Structure 1
Amino acid sequence: NGYITYSDRNTKNEIKPLSYGLNEVLKLNPVTYRYKSFISPNNRIRMGLIAQEVEPIIPEVVIKEDVDIDKNGNKVVTEGAYLSMNYTDLIPVLIKAIQEQDEKIKKLEEKINTLENQE
């Protein structure tokens, strides 16, 4: 089962080009980590980003959760207890970063071809 969301143009308004791209991706700091036991008893190593580090770079993907965990492990509703991330919303940023890199590569290939043809 995958996560499906509406993407039809007819469901959207205020469509604008994405301003984030390669510059923002290069500022992200991918890490490995384990969740603290009160968040998840599963102690496996995970990969991801730290929301506090992402928020100043791409704030739209950071979500302030209104759930906290008390000392007994019970969920308690509080305002802005933890930060979470919508990793799905990072996909368009990554796509744009790849497109920007591809443009740079094409320009470099053109320069290389020009230099090789001068010899």
Structure 2
Amino acid sequence: KINRLRMVAFDFIENKKHEEIGLIAQEAETIVPRIVSRDPENPDGYLHIDYTALVPYLIKAIQELNQKIEKMEKTIA
């Protein structure tokens, strides 16, 4: 799932804040729905990404990479 998330640079339209880097909520919602939320009082408004909810996925990805590295190191040694 982590590899399918696309990081982008973007400008916020509402407050004219420039050059943020992150995920597009609409895209992230199709890949990891639990990290995206909507304002219950304004369901048609902005989506919010909870980046801390990505941490378990990142830990798992790092663990998998470490296992691959260890396996490769054993074949080289």
Q: How far apart are residue 30 of structure 1 and its match?
A: 0.4
Letter in 1 for 2:39: E
Higher normalized contact order (CA 8 Å, seq sep 6+, divided by chain length):
1
How far off is 1:86 after superposition?
Answer: 0.3
Which of 11, 26, 42 aligns to 2:3? It is 26
Cα deviations by residue, 1:49-92 (Å, 9 ceiling, x for unpaired): 001111121111010124xxxxxxxxxx5324221100111122
Cα distance in structure 1, aligned partners of 2:12 and 2:53: 22
Q: Which runs of 5+ in 1 are unaligned?
A: 1-23, 67-76, 114-119
**Which amino acid is 1:31 matched to?**
V
Aligned with 2:26: secondary structure?
Answer: helix
TM-score, normalised relative to structure 2: 0.87
Point out where structure 2 has 5 or more consecutive residues left out of the alignment.
Answer: none
Greater helix share, structure number? 2
RMSD: 1.4
Instruction: Measure, in 2, the Cα distance between the counterparts of 1:102 and 1:78.
Output: 42
Of 56, 59, 73 in structure 1, the residue corresponding to residue 30 of structure 2 is 56
Partner SS, residue 39 of structure 2: strand
CA offsets per residue over residues 91-111 of structure 1, 9 Å max, x none? 221111111100011111111
Q: Distance in 2 between matches of 1:88 and 1:80?
A: 24
State, as a whole percentage, how many aligned pairs show the same letter. Answer: 39
Larger Rg: 1
> What TM-score results when the alignment is normalised by the length of structure 1?
0.59
In 1, Cα distance between equivalents of 2:43 and 2:18: 29
